[in-house]
C-alpha cells in the first residue's frame, strides 16, 4: 500500500550514489571508463565500511572493506533496514530492476525499469521507465502502479536533452514523490511533487529555480 537520487561524488571510475540506512556502510557504482585499461575494478555496485572519529564524524573507509555486491549493475538503492539492494541491470532501453537479499545472497528480477528508489517505510519502490513514466511496485513484485505518464506525441522526434521525467526522491513519510521534469519545448528542468497514488502534479520550482534537480527531502515538518 502507498503510505531520498543523491549527490554524486565522481572520480575517474566511481560515482558515489547511495548511503545506506545502516550508518556505517556506503555504496557506489564503479564503471571501467577507459575500455583499454583492464587493470581497473570490475564494473558494478560496491560497498565499504566507514570509519568515524570520537565526535562521530566520518574519517574514511575501513581498509580492505570494499567489496563487490553486484557486477555490471548501475543505479541502486537500499531497503530501509539495510538488508536488501534494488538495482538496475542491462542496456538502458531494456533495463531491468533486480533485488539482492544480502543475508542469503539471492537475487531476483522485479520488473523492467531504471533509477529505483526505496520508500522510507519500505513498502514501495519507485522507478522510471525511460523518460516516459514513473511507477511504483511493492518489493515482492506485486501492485505495479503508474504514478504519472508522459503524454503521447505520435511521430515526434525528440532532441537531447530528452523531455520527460528524471530524478526521483521520496517524501520522508512515503506518501509522495518529488521528480525532475523537462517539459516539452522547455529549456530547463522543473521540480514536481505528486502523491504516490497519482493525481495532479504540483510544480514547485517554476519561476523560482533554474534547471532545478531534486536531491533530498528533509524530515523536518513531517511532510
CATH: 2.40.50.140, 2.120.10.30, 2.40.100.10, 2.60.120.10. Which one for 14-203?
2.120.10.30
DSSP per residue, 143-156: --EEEEEPPP-TT-
| pLDDT of the residue at 13 | 44
d(CA 14, CA 61): 15
The closest of 123, 46, 115, 109 to 79, measured between CA atoms, is 123
Reported as a single tens digit per residue, the pLDDT across 45-64 is 988 888 888 888 888 888 88
The closest of 86, 83, 68 to 32, measured between CA atoms, is 68
- Taking phi over 0 as left and psi of -120 to 50 as alpha, with beta for the rest, 176 belongs to beta
Reported as a single tens digit per residue, the pLDDT across 130-185 is 888 999 999 999 999 999 998 876 666 666 677 889 889 999 999 999 998 887 77
Looking at every residue in the chain, the average pLDDT score rounds to 80
**Long-range contacts at 191-195 (CB < 8 A, ≥ 24 apart):** 194/134, 194/147, 194/148, 195/2
- Residue 164 phi, psi (nearest 5): 145, -160
Distances (CA, A) of 152 to 164, 182, 195: 11, 15, 22
Q: Is the pLDDT of residue 86 over 70?
A: yes
d(CA 102, CA 83): 5
Reported as a single tens digit per residue, the pLDDT across 33-49 is 554 555 556 789 988 88
In this prediction the pTM is 0.80
Reported as a single tens digit per residue, the pLDDT across 119-131 is 999 999 999 998 8
Contact yes or no for 171/223 (Cβ under 8 A): yes
* Mean pLDDT along residues 90-114: 93
Share of the chain above pLDDT 90, in %: 39
Domain limits of the chain? 14-203
Amino acid at each position: 500500500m502507498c503510505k531520498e537520487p543523491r549527490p554524486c561524488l565522481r572520480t575517474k571510475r566511481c560515482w558515489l550514489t547511495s548511503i545506506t540506512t545502516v550508518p556505517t556502510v556506503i555504496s557506489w557504482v564503479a564503471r571501467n571508463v577507459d575500455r583499454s585499461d583492464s587493470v581497473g575494478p570490475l564494473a558494478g555496485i560496491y560497498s565499504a565500511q566507514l570509519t568515524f572519529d570520537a565526535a562521530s564524524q566520518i574519517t574514511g573507509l575501513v581498509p580492505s572493506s570494499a567489496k563487490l555486491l553486484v557486477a555490471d549493475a548501475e543505479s541502486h538503492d537500499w531497503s530501509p533496514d539495510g538488508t536488501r539492494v534494488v538495482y538496475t541491470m542491462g542496456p538502458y532501453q531494456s533495463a531491468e530492476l533486480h533485488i539482492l537479499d544480502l543475508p542469503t545472497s539471492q537475487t531476483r528480477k522485479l520488473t523492467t525499469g531504471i533509477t529505483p528508489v526505496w520508500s522510507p517505510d519500505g513498502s514501495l519502490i519507485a522507478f522510471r521507465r525511460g523518460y516516459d513514466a514513473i511507477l511504483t511496485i511493492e518489493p515482492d513484485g506485486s501492485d505495479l502502479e503508474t504514478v504519472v505518464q508522459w503524454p503521447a506525441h505520435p511521430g515526434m522526434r525528440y532532441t537531447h536533452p530528452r523531455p520527460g521525467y528524471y530524478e526521483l526522491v521520496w517524501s520522508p513519510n512515503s506518501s509522495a514523490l518529488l521528480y525532475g521534469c523537462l517539459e516539452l519545448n522547455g529549456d530547463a528542468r522543473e521540480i514536481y511533487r505528486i502523491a504516490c497514488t497519482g493525481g495532479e502534479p504540483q510544480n514547485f520550482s517554476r519561476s523560482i529555480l533554474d534547471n532545478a534537480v531534486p536531491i533530498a527531502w528533509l524530515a523536518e515538518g513531517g511532510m
